[in-house]
Amino acid sequence: MTLSTKHVLLIIAGGIAAFKSLELIRLLRARGCAVTCVLTKAGAEFVTPLSLQALSENRVYADLFSLTDESEMGHIQLSRSADLVVVAPASADLLAKMAGGHADDLASTVLLATDKPVLAAPAMNVRMWLHPATQANVATLAKRGVHFVGPDEGAMACHEYGPGRLSEPPMILAAIEALLDPGRRPLAGRHALVTSGPTHEPIDPVRYIANRSSGRQGHAIAAALAELGARVTLVSGPVAMPDPPGVAIRRIETAAEMLAACQNALPADIAVFAAAVADWRVANATDRKIKKTPDGSAPGLSLVANPDILATLARPGPERPGLVIGFAAETNDVAENATAKRLRKGCDWIVANDVSPETGIMGGVENAVLLVTAGGIETWPRLAKEEVAKRLAARIAEALQETPHPGPLPQGEREKKSPLPLRARAAEQTEVGGGVRPPGSENTAP
Ligand code: C5P
């Protein structure tokens, strides 16, 4: 959908996160959405009216008592001129003013006078966010119908850790789009294939080789894509996770079964390979349980490499999904290894994470990832795996937004009309295929 007929009134309060409002304006303007900025006094300490004006291509309002503003557009008119009022960042102070009904500057006056929906994206120190006063203000505002996006949890500019970070601009954009067009689901009509969990490679009918993947990250990605309207096929190894709602699930055990299930699920517009596929399977697996020998000698296991599902499906061809995303679980040199892996596997993006035992990421509930694309490397804060999934889904929706909808094209036509712009594809890649590594070093989305 397009926001080109919409108008957002963006209120920027004080805080180190105020600089992110510039990116939000850019995203909104790229969608044709009109943006009018209101800058608080504290906000002006962090961003300049000139930057806001240049990006919004619109006049910036700051002073409640400016006669010029009153003659051109009074604060009442300003408060009602937009389809949605967005407060990003929403400081603890501005939230308190909103809850208390204050009107002592332009931002608070506009928020008191408006008859339009309000979306607040809080950003503050973790203690300020967790303070009962702020929590009570947020509860009061939510009860009155104010919508919230975030805050995110992670490392803060003040060197503390916890909830309080401003949501990333794509997430705020997704919340804006959801409010301005509630029926809209940006991935509606798209088919997403997601792999998740470990694979089990049998040794005999009762024993197998496995790994510690919980499937939490892959399942959360499937759920997040479905929430944005995609038809999702989740190919999952054995996990204890509940099935994500609204997702078609294909349960498999081995890597070979996972590859077949993925190939059967094609065509897909998006493919996210989050599974921790076993790199090796047992070549001499038996149909009958291997007996212990009287002399106590152990049976020899002969291993053979499993197919690389990601590299196979990322190969250029009519069936290649438009956006192919792999994962890289590393214990060292994460950025370098992930960058090399993106090229080696032939995928468009790599979501990389550090799975050293001390991070607690493998099998844990949080993840700290780098997103490696053709355009560079983004470092995301440590977030709950569900938040990582939502953010990734929002990025996917953003990447597919401006591209033609593939629709039911005949085979062979799909490649020409890939939903991704050329620059986002791994077109420069020449080498495809996995490297050799020792058994047990499975890749993963933990
Ligand atoms: O090479 P490595 O195993 O680290 O690559 C990790 C990425 O490749 C993950 O996205 C994983 O799901 C995928 N993969 C795969 N099939 C394999 C091995 C890895 O799809 N056999």
The tens digit of pLDDT for each residue in 82-100 reads 999 999 999 999 999 999 9
Whose structure tokens read 């997702």?
247
275 lines ligand 1 (CB under 6 A): yes
280 lines ligand 1 (CB under 6 A): no
Between 48-62, 68-82, 343-357, 424-438, the lowest mean confidence (pLDDT) is in: 424-438
pLDDT band at 405 (very low <50, low <70, confident <90, very high): low
Q: What secondary structure letter does DSSP report for 33?
A: -
DSSP assignment string, 150-168: -PEEEE-TTS-EEEEEPPP
Between 149-153, 203-207, 396-400, 421-425, the lowest mean confidence (pLDDT) is in: 421-425
Between 23-32, 59-68, 145-154, 362-371, the lowest mean confidence (pLDDT) is in: 59-68
Closest atom of ligand 1 relative to the 327 alpha carbon: 10
CATH number of 7-180: 3.40.50.1950
Q: Whose CA is nearest to atom 2 of ligand 1?
A: 443
Closest atom of ligand 1 relative to the 195 alpha carbon: 12
| 33 flagged as catalytic | no
pLDDT of residue 419: 43
Q: What is the number of other CB atoms lying within 10 angstroms of the CB of residue 178?
A: 18
326 lines ligand 1 (CB under 6 A): yes
Closest atom of ligand 1 relative to the 350 alpha carbon: 10
Which residue among 308, 330, 334 has the greatest number of ligand 1 atoms within 8 angstroms of its CB, and so is best to mutate? Answer: 308
Distance (Å) from CA 280 to ligand 1 centroid = 12
pLDDT of residue 434: 29
Between 67-71, 315-319, 359-363, the lowest mean confidence (pLDDT) is in: 67-71
Q: Whose CA is nearest to atom 13 of ligand 1?
A: 310
- For 31-105, where are the alpha helices, taking DSSP H only? 49-56, 67-72, 75-80, 92-100
pLDDT of residue 66: 65
Report the relative pairing of strands 383-384 and 366-367 from DSSP bridges: antiparallel
Q: What angle do CA 202, 205, 211 make, to 5 degrees?
A: 35
Distance (Å) from CA 330 to ligand 1 centroid = 12
What lies within 8 Å, CB to CB, of 91 at 6+ separation is 13, 14, 15, 40, 42, 122, 123, 124
Point out the catalytic residue in the list 33, 37, 158, 262. 158
Q: What secondary structure letter does DSSP report for 300?
A: P
Domain boundaries, the chain: 7-180, 191-289+298-424
- Give, in order, the Cα–Cα distances in Å from 251 to each of 243, 248, 385: 10, 10, 21
Q: What secondary structure letter does DSSP report for 111?
A: H
255 lines ligand 1 (CB under 6 A): yes
Q: Whose CA is nearest to atom 3 of ligand 1?
A: 443
Q: Do domains 7-180 and 191-289+298-424 have the same CATH topology?
A: yes
- CATH for 191-289+298-424 (3.90.550.10, 3.40.1360.10, 3.40.50.1950, 3.40.50.10300): 3.40.50.10300
434 lines ligand 1 (CB under 6 A): yes
Between 14-23, 183-192, 222-231, 264-273, the lowest mean confidence (pLDDT) is in: 183-192
pTM given for the model? 0.67
